[in-house]
Amino acid sequence: MKSKFIILVVSSLMYLGVACSKDDSQVVKPEELFTVPANFPKPLYDFSKNPVTNNGFELGKALFFDGNLSRDGTISCAECHNQAYAFTHHGHDLSHGIDNKVGIRNAPPIQNMAFQKEFFWDGGVFDLDLFSIAPIENPVEMDEKLGNVLEKLRKQEKYTTLFQKAYGSKEVTTERFLKALSQFMLALVSANSRYDKYVRKEAGGTLTTDEFAGLEIFKQKCASCHAGELFTDHSYRNNGLPVYNKNDTGRQRITAAGDDSYKFKVPSLRNIAVTAPYMHDGRFYSLDAVLNHYSDGIVESKTLDSLLRTNQRLGIALNKDEKTKLIAFLKTLTDEEFLKNKKFGI
């Protein structure tokens, strides 16, 4: 009921946005761009300030795939956020950017952004519309100035036309640029995995015995942090990884609070089978390695999460059979429709 109401509000807002742009040539079906899946919570993004429209989405998509957003024209957002791998940087533990420079973190998937309130592994950005400045200006990612990017776009007819279509005039502003990128990312909703169909009792929503057993184990042993339909409680926690990079203290870099040291955002596990390598620094190359970490690899520290320190034992008790079942379940979170949706590619 709730989510239906939101869909209505969002789509009527989107309708308004389009009505203002005086472009009647487009047949707009806003629900094709953003809808709240029936099993999802309320979106946290405020769509009233940036309704998703077809033309806004198209502009955002063009920007997302354009190397001109980087200093030397070589690195687009899509370089590190590849659709086939749920918009992650396939095969890279730490992301590789301009001049082959290496960052300190693993590129997370871009999916279901409307349901996330803070961005980055440390949550340093609290508004998706403010996000894109960071990779563009990061010296090891795209190493460009946002002002220069806007200048480059102003000189291209392709973009003045796209801005005209999206916003009703050719003007290229900071706000329009950032909001268009948000529109593209907001439309990246992944909610059609076999697990989703199972939850929503839709056709194709069957789980094997092992997968079902895995789901039960997951609920018991993992869902306290990887909670709800997004598989995250949006909190920052230390899940007991040995520290490889002392300087990356995670959430503490943002809050300067000692009790936040080495805490990172609990990531969503949707499409997890295709987003290897895992963890904030991409240290694990397989789900087996992740589970071995939880069962045998947890290290003690001041900020280790108390959930991983129960019954006088570090970590989560998991035998081989349980691990196999867990992995079988995690694989049901892959949403092929999302990974292959042509709308999201160029």
Partner 1 sequence: MKKIIFILLCAVSLANAQKTGSISIHFDHVIGNEPLVLNDKKYKNADGDEFKVSLFQYFISNIRLIRKDGSTYVMPQDQSYFLIRESNKGSKTITLANIPKGKFTAISFLIGIDSARNASEIGQRKGCLDVAGEAKDMYWAWNSGYIFVKMEGTSIQSTAKNNIFMYHIGLFGGIGNKKTLNNIRYATIDFGGETLRVKDNKFVPVITIKTDASRLLNGDTNVEIAKNPTVMGGPFSAKIAENYKTMFSFAGLDKLTTDIDKNRKALGMN
Q: Which residues bind ligand HEC (CB under 6 A)?
A: 69, 75, 77, 79-81, 89, 95, 97, 103, 105, 107-108, 110, 113, 116, 119-121, 131-132, 135-136, 141-142, 181, 185, 221-222, 224-226, 237, 239, 241, 264, 266-267, 269, 272, 275, 278-280, 290, 294, 305, 307-308, 316, 326
DSSP state for residue 297 in the 8-state scheme: I
Paired tokens of 127: 């508004």
- Give the binding range for partner 1 (CB under 8 A) out of 3-11, 81-89, 140-148, 296-304: 140-148
Beta carbons of 290 and 326 less than 8 angstroms apart: no
Among residues 130, 299, 307, 317, the one that binds partner 1 under rule CB under 8 A: 130
Instruction: Decide which of partner 1, ligand HEC, none touches 230; Cβ closer than 5 to 8 Å per partner kind.
Output: none
Q: Is 258 helix (H, G, I), strand (E, B) or coil?
A: helix
Phi, psi of 263 (to 5 degrees): -95, 140
If one counts every other C-beta atom within 10 angstroms of the C-beta of residue 166, the result is 25
List of residues 6+ apart from 140 with CB closer than 8 A: 97, 98, 101, 102, 103
Q: How far is the CA of 95 from the CAs of 131, 138, 321, 346, in angstroms?
A: 17, 12, 34, 22
Among residues 3, 15, 92, 127, the one that binds partner 1 under rule CB under 8 A: 127
Decide if residue 146 touches partner 1 (CB under 8 A): yes
Phi, psi of 250 (to 5 degrees): 65, -130
Binding pattern for the stretch 223-262 against partner 1, x by CB under 8 A and - elsewhere = ------------------------------xxxxx-----
Give the interface with partner 1 as residue ranges (CB under 8 A).
Answer: 46, 49, 117-118, 120, 123-127, 129-130, 133-134, 137-138, 145-147, 149-150, 174-175, 177-179, 253-257
